[in-house]
Structure 1
């Protein structure tokens, strides 16, 4: 690995591609690459498996994209993809920046993916090549040239969706599809959680009391860390019956009871009524947003977190929001989720005059 010492010049040569252990394998993934590297440490397979679990599934998918690109980049230029020089890494990152137009955030993900390949698992070197001083400076330059921007400058008015949900009554007259839509939207708004958290809810870990449904969380939240776990979700009764998530969930459980063949809370509203995944829940949320009149070209299912948290911040302290959703600090909330509410759908004074 190349390091920069005082008075040293940085090599940007292209080494000969000759190592049989680093030949391009089209179907190789991030985990296979890392497993090959860890194999040099001569660990039992069971220990390797646990080490590989340090990357969550979503992270693996993100990394795989960039590692495949890196392999292809190296193959075309006859570079040893596990033992490049710093100039090769910079050329690859610059290709992603210039040719593919990647943002700072995406480029940082690519850098982290490469770090998996370049890490010395024997512990002989403290830092991988991706932390070379020139790579660090390059990333800072990317940040200055193309500053990261939040996806949404504003968020939609939760009252618009709540008004639509209030019309979806009575519950026993709704189709199972509409009941499912209403439930997931109320759960998303009142919990502020991601789709993967809702998809992981299980009736086996559910406790019903007079005024609430409590779920023990059996999946890891994105913000979970070894010293901070989000352990439970509670859906409480609300005074307005038409917006009560407790009543809606109770009705949903009664309706789906004879259809269930598994314990996951949310199931499909069509045969064979199997449990639904993250993408399906996201589609349900986005569909209901569209029905309520929200611009679904601009806003995705994930926007429910910002809309929910932004509305709650108008009436309760930020500390309560952080505790409820599971954020560690107000920085995340203020940077990504606390947005001005878009009232463009309402008749402002100037619009009313001009109409």
Structure 2
């Protein structure tokens, strides 16, 4: 039942504060609310906050109670978002956000499920790329950046992050979290343990481990050699209190953010001749996994290397695009004629 409408402008308090109000109204113990909000990643809370803000304004404008709304009001709100150009993914995200805010499992409501299905059929969510670029284009370009001792910090950094992207197929978020203390260098290559939570982290899931082999027959694109040389190059530049591998290329040398790493990779794509207006830094994940698949690497190994679960259909749905031991992923991408199995 709809309660009395608000009588004065209600300023949106922000995503975290909005959830605190919602949880408190539902009788959640105050000492538990912070833990409940901590269940959301920063990126998810930021994404949901966009919906909460829109919902806040919608309820005030239309005299609806924002914490106690009927299915028909939710449907009208989502329909308005659709009519304003929102994509299927955005509408789906808004549905999840409102379910959390209102405390109702609206995802199971038959009318709302029917609406979401209609949105998909009317405005389907398609993969971002119909095809992808050949990693050899980028590898050929950065192979000329030798010897490492004669490169600028910017060029060596760009080479390293490009090889990390292609040889591990992980997100830039993962690279921004690499710690020097979690890097193990051996005669066979480099092993990197990722201990911080990332997008794919979850209960019962192993944290990712990145493997960079030595390419003794082609040191110009050797990911392990490049990383070892980068550590040596930056030893005197980094803060003694910082344990992060990647640092910014300009003084003062701070820990590199995911945004900086993404920008460096995209610059390398553009310099290599890849259409950077079409392909983002994240497309390296598409290029690497597609190349590994074309080279005959098993789907299970591709999933494991890229951080997908064994049952994930993400690669088949979004990443498999036309154009072994775990460390063979890098060789399958960088050395197409590699015969390892």
TM-score normalised per structure 2: 0.89
- 1:319 is matched with 300
Match of 1:333 among 308, 315, 323: 315
**Unaligned residue ranges in structure 2 (runs of 5+):** 324-341
Q: Secondary structure at the match of 2:126?
A: coil
- 2:247 is matched with 267
Q: Secondary structure at the match of 1:81?
A: coil
Q: Secondary structure at the match of 1:185?
A: helix
Q: Secondary structure at the match of 1:167?
A: coil
Match of 2:90 among 102, 106, 115: 106
CA RMSD of aligned residues (A): 1.7
The change in CA–CA distance for 1:44 and 1:80 in structure 2 (over 3 A counts) is closer
1:59 has 2:44 as partner: yes
- Residue 321 of structure 1: CA displacement? 0.9
1:132 has 2:104 as partner: no
CA contact (8 A) 2:68 2:102 kept: yes
Q: 2-side partners of 1:75 and 1:213: how far apart?
A: 56
TM-score normalised per structure 1: 0.85
- Residue 294 of structure 1: CA displacement? 0.4
Q: Secondary structure at the match of 1:276?
A: coil
Q: 2-side partners of 1:190 and 1:86: how far apart?
A: 48
1:196 has 2:196 as partner: no
- 1:166 is matched with 143
Q: 2-side partners of 1:330 and 1:164: how far apart?
A: 33
Q: Secondary structure at the match of 1:259?
A: coil
CA contact (8 A) 1:306 1:337 kept: yes
- 1:244 is matched with 222
- Residue 229 of structure 1: CA displacement? 2.6
CA contact (8 A) 1:89 1:130 kept: no
> Which shifted more, 148-157 or 131-140?
131-140
Q: Secondary structure at the match of 2:294?
A: coil
1:180 has 2:168 as partner: no
- 2:75 is matched with 90
CA contact (8 A) 2:22 2:102 kept: no
Q: How many residues align?
A: 317
Q: 2-side partners of 1:18 and 1:71: how far apart?
A: 11
- 2:29 is matched with 43
